[in-house]
Every structure is written in C-alpha cells, then in structure tokens.
Amino acid sequence: MDTLFYPEKVVIIGVSERETNLGKIIAENLFDFGFHGEIFLVGRHGGVLLGHRISTSVQELPEGIDVGIILTPAKTVPDIVDQCGQKGIKWLVIETGGFREFSKEGEALEAEVLKNARKWGIRFVGPNGIGIINMENGFCCPFVSLKGFATRPGRISILAQSGGVTLTYLRQLSSMNVRPNKLVSMGNKLDLTEIDYLNYLEKDANTEIIGLYLESIQHGRKLMDFARHSSKTILLHKSNIGKASQQIAKFHTAALATDDRVVDAAAKQSGIVRVRNFRQFVHSAMILTLPPMRGNNLVIISRSGGIAIVAADLAEEHGFNLVPFPEIFLKKVREVFRAKVINPTNPLDLGDLFDFELYTKILEYTIQRRDVDGIMFQHGAISDREKATSRKLISAVINLSNQYRKPIAFRYHTDDTELAAVRQLFPFPIFTEPEDAMEALAISRDHYRQKHREIVLPPEPKADKKKVRHILDTSKNPFLSMDKGFQLLEAYGIPVAPYRVVSNLKEAKEASKDIGFPIAVKVMTSEPIHKTDKGAIALDLESSSSLQKALNKFKETRDLTSITTGYLLQKMIKQGMEVILGAKRDEAFGATVMVGLGGIFAEIFDDVALRIAPLTFTDAEEMLEELKGHKLFTGFRGRPPLDRKALIDAILRLSDLMTSFPAIRQVDINPLKLLEDGKGCYAVDVRVEIESTPLS
C-alpha cells in the first residue's frame, strides 16, 4: 500500500479547463501541497491546465502510472476502471458519488466497478469520498480547495467514512497545532476498508495515533483484534448511533444492548479511546501526544484562585485524587508570597506570585514527586511583557513533561492572537477551558489503565455440549420452549430453579408435591410472549386449590387458549435479588453478553453492563463494577453480601455458550435470582432464540 500513499506518478481522470471543474481543484491541491511526483491529466475535451497537457483518454497515458484519481459521472466509472486495468494502473482513488448511497442503480454500478477492479487486480479507495491527504509528500487529492492548509506532518493519521468529517478534522487539528500525518476519506468502503488502512498504518513509522470516524462498523471483531495487538493509540468517533430493532419476542437483552453500547463495550475491551464528538476527539488527540497519566494522583497549579476551585470540582467529578503538598514545601511557598493572604494547598493558587521562573521551579518540584502522576497547570498572560515571559514558561513546561514522562495539561488564558501564535510556535497541546483539560487527563488515565490492566482468563466451564447440540439440532422452532431453554442452561452448568412441565390439573398437582409450595405456574406457548403482560403467569401459589384456580383462569383467557401447549410449574425463589443476564449476536461484533440489576426494572433504571464474548474473568469483574448498584453485591445498609462469584460464573458460562454455539441468536435469563454469598443463583425464566437452520 506504500504505492497508494507515496506514488511517483499520478493521473487525475475527469479534468477540464473550466473554472468550476472539480478535477481541476484536485490538480491545484497537488501543486499547492508540493506533491513530489509527476502529475498527468485526462479529460474528454483535452486542453492545457497548470502547464500540463490534458490527454483525452487513459490509453494516451505513459506506462508506469501508480495511482489514478477518478472524478467522473458514476455511469462512466466502471469503464474507466477497466481502462485503468488495461493500462496497468493498480491503485485507484474513486471520488465519484452516486452509487449505493444514492440509488439501486448506483448499487448495480458499484457491482460493476468491483468486478472490473477484481479482473485486473486493482485496489481502490471509495467511491463517494475525497480520497487521500498525505502531509509528508503532498499527495493531496480532495476535490475541495485546501489552499492555505498545507502544514508540516505530525503524528496522527485519520480514517473517516465522510469527506466532510475528514476536512473538519484537518481544520480542527491544524488549528490546535495537532498536526495530521495522513488522512483518508474512505467513502463507501467498497474495496479497501478501515481494516486495510489500519494494517498499513500499524507499520507506518510516522503514525503514532490513529483516528477513526465510522458511520457503520462491518468488521467489529477484526477492529478489536487489531486494537488489542496494535502499538498505536486508536481514537474512535462512531456516529449514526442505532437503536435495537423490534424483536418478535421482545427480548429485554435486545432492548438494552443497543448498537452503541456494543461499540462502547468493544472499545473498553480492546483499549480503543471512544469519543462522542469532534471537540472530544481533538482534545483526546492533544493529550495523547503527551506522556500517559499512569495513575490517579493529580496536582492542580493555577494562577487564578477561582479557576483553581473550578478545576478542583472537575477533578472530583473525574475521580482524581488531589495529593497534598508536604508541609516543608508549603512553608517555602508561603515565604515567597507577597500579600500572605493565600493558603497554599492542592490546588495551588499562585495568584500572589508573579515570578514565572519560580513557577518553573514549582512545576519541576511537583512533577518529579513519585506520588504525582500528572499536573493540570492553568496560566494566564495579558500584557506584552507577560506574554513574552510566558513563552519561556511554555518551553519549560514542554521540557519538564518530556523529561519526567508525565503529562502537564496546560490551560492558557490570553488573547486570540497570542494563543494562535503560541500554538503555531510550540508542538504542545494548549487548552483554553479547564473542563477540556481535565477531561483530557481523565482520558489519558483511563486509556493507560485499560491498556495495562491484568487479564485473567477463566477455565473452560464444564458443560454437556452434546446435549446442547441435540437441543439445537432437534428444535423446529426458532424460539425454544421454556423447558428446552432451561435444559440448555442446565447442560451448561447455570443453575435453574426446580421445575416440572405438565399438561393438565392432575399432573400439576402431582408435580407440586415434588416441587413443594410455594410455586409459580407459567403458560407454555407456541409463540413467544411477555407472560406478565398476557396474564400467563401466576406467582406465590400456596396450595392445590390456588393452583387449580390459576389453571382455570388460564383456560378462560381468550388470548391464551389457542397458543397454550402446556404449563410449567416452578419453585418460587423468594430470597435474593433479581438480576437480568442475557446475550445476543451482533452483526459486526458477534456474541455479546449483558448483565443488569433489577429484573423487569432493568430497562427503567438502565443499569446494565455489556461486553463482547468470549469474556475473560477480568471482563466479568469489570461488568459488575460498572453497574450503578454494584455496592449491593458487597452488602448495603445491613443487607448481607450477595454471591458475586456465582454471578460471575454464570456470566462466563453464558459467554462460552454463545461462543461455542453460533446457532444461538439470543438468550434472556430474566430474572436470575442471586442469593446471599455462598448460596449461589437460580435462573427463574429464560427465552432462547436460535437460527432456523442451526450452524453449530
């Protein structure tokens, strides 16, 4: 792929002398960015542009063209691809729009483009994008004029599905002096996908951070695998956030495990930095160019007492620990204060100190302390004299951060002209808002933690996989009956509350003697329903007479009579707390596992955690810690602690079940009753959806 990013000979196809011609703008960008190679032009009407002759056909071109840039009407592209193949051009950047994103006819044209490319062994970017920008060699081929945007190459490369987003990041990063290295507008990703570009950038010595903007994720597993093993930091800005589709069975798991939560889970597990907007993306890129925040101990040093208080509130919000200064240091600081009205602490207010060289000494003393992981330094300069001395201070900040390998998030308050000048002068991130600086430090800390966490692998669970396979292979319905669902869980070692399946009152009375009152009775149906909504469940039955009344009521319920296939009696588990445990198969990432507190209230309280299977023991532990109600597991306000180990075991068994049997589409264990510590857990209800033709 080096040829694509570092071509020596490039042809632009679709050029004319007209002022409004977009191919002409591509040529101008190549010249303005100082492209190192030769440029050839092709257009129907010929002519001369920027001192270069415009050939009227691809056949007129010399041999040895490395990359062709195509910007012609969509209907002409398949034939042009074929012509490029005949000419031996192996790499193309197709910027033309009007394909599958536009119409069914466009989708058919894409198929032709791909077929012709495959015939000649051509690889291509797009279609429907603005191509590539390589700051190192000036290979800049968007059809939007970028005059004045040529900058020195930096260490971050951007892969974006949208051309507009690509240009937005170019402008925003450049304005913050976070210099991009390479940018790719991937467009429809008909041939080359983000995985292809990621694999290339992994080997690119000049790229340290990779920014990804995606509207769709088709290769989620490959993205996770890449991130886990990559030496590069990956930022992911995922838009087009989807909602769970309506499920026939109304699975709680489907409603709770939305597409966006799956992306969040994948990012957490693989060490990807997930960002929500352009601002957060840019600030993440800024802080990640600095040494990492390896711990949680922070010092705030500020020239403004008010801003110091704001920063302290922000530090608490982001979970930082503000480590105190030693008394011997504070004593020395008090001695140099003029008015003696500020009590130095952390945050350290330097508002009474005007010696910027002393600021440097304070910063150095602070950053070299072993119990300090990073500094947020807030500075301001208004007068010309202060601006000049502040530049020396900024230089010192850069040196200290690099020397001690710790981040200093530098927030600078000055006028816009000086801020722009300083950003261009110093290759160092400079923040203007305390909120942005503190959030950036938290991102650095969390990313470091995630990348360096200890992963504990679970043992393979003992399971009767032959029984599971038999249940799946013999099912004639995509939704397993309740008893088959329980059998599947039992085969995998997930405890189930004692139950019996009966067809009439006589069998029900006999079964109740074995189970023992109190019991619950559930209507088994030929199609999935919400039993509570349909009146298909009776709870806390204490006697044979109450059991008989419940069955009679079921028979009298019109909505149930035609779909009833039997009844399931189950022991009531009154102790413990209700938990929802579920799994579903995501199109991009595969099997996902979810846990939440509250049973039927999980959707109301929205207290759930999600991970991509297969899960490690570390993943399962983190899922429980992530829940808002996680304190309940250890005991709360006199309540006994719950059996956390049993829940983790159930989570890991469900993960292995989903990983081992791709025929299973969804599992809902709702509720799972979690008992006191040492007493285990029991599945009380289950729904399982499988592929119509099992794949296991």
pLDDT tens digits, residue range 103-161? Answer: 889 899 999 999 999 999 999 999 999 999 999 999 999 999 998 876 789 999 999 99
**pLDDT value for 247:** 42
Residues of the chain within CATH 3.40.50.720 domain(s) are 2-215
Residues 576-592, mean pLDDT to the nearest whole number: 93
Backbone angles phi, psi at 594, to 5 degrees: -130, 145
Look-up of token digits 């990956």: 234
Q: Which fold has domain 2-215?
A: Rossmann fold (3.40.50)
Name the percent of the chain lying above pLDDT 90.
Answer: 76
pLDDT at 246 over 80: no
Look-up of token digits 């695998």: 225
Between 217-221, 495-499, 629-633, 675-679, the lowest mean confidence (pLDDT) is in 629-633
User: Are 665 and 651 spatial neighbours (Cβ–Cβ below 8 Å)?
Assistant: no
pLDDT in tens, 59-69: 999 999 999 99
Q: Could you give the CA distance from residue 112 to residue 471 in angstroms, rounded to a whole number?
A: 44
Backbone angles phi, psi at 33, to 5 degrees: -85, 0
**pLDDT value for 258:** 56
Superfamily covering domain 577-690:
ATP-grasp fold, B domain (3.30.470.20)
Q: Give the confidence band of 600 by pLDDT, cuts at 50, 70, 90.
A: low
Angle subtended at Cα 210 by Cα 27 and Cα 615, rounded to the nearest 5 degrees:
145
Burial of 352 (0-12, 13-18, 19+ CB in 10 A): middle
**pLDDT value for 150:** 65
Between 242-251, 575-584, 589-598, the lowest mean confidence (pLDDT) is in 242-251
Q: Could you give the CA distance from residue 687 to residue 664 in angstroms, rounded to a whole number?
A: 11
Number of alpha helices (DSSP H) and beta strands (DSSP E) in the chain: 25, 30
**pLDDT value for 511:** 94
**pLDDT value for 344:** 62
Residues of the chain within CATH 3.30.1490.20 domain(s) are 465-571
pLDDT at 30 over 50: yes
Indicate the helix (H) or strand (E) that contains 500: strand 499-502
Range 287-452 has CATH code 1.10.8.100: no
Residues of the chain within CATH 3.30.470.20 domain(s) are 577-690
**pLDDT value for 560:** 84
User: Are 142 and 29 spatial neighbours (Cβ–Cβ below 8 Å)?
Assistant: yes
pLDDT at 542 over 80: yes
**pLDDT value for 694:** 46
**pLDDT value for 375:** 97
User: Are 290 and 275 spatial neighbours (Cβ–Cβ below 8 Å)?
Assistant: no
CATH of 465-571, one of 3.30.1490.20, 3.40.50.10170, 3.40.50.300, 3.40.190.10: 3.30.1490.20
Between 140-144, 149-153, 217-221, 357-361, the lowest mean confidence (pLDDT) is in 149-153
Residues of the chain within CATH 3.40.50.261 domain(s) are 287-452
Residues 62-84, mean pLDDT to the nearest whole number: 97
Q: Could you give the CA distance from residue 391 to residue 301 in angstroms, rounded to a whole number?
A: 17
Q: Give the confidence band of 539 by pLDDT, cuts at 50, 70, 90.
A: very high
Please provide the DSSP assignment of 161-223 as one string. Answer: S-HHHHHHHHHHHHHTT--EEEEEE-TT-SSS-HHHHHHHHHT-TT-SEEEEEES--S-HHHH
Q: What is the mean pLDDT of the chain?
A: 91
**pLDDT value for 339:** 45
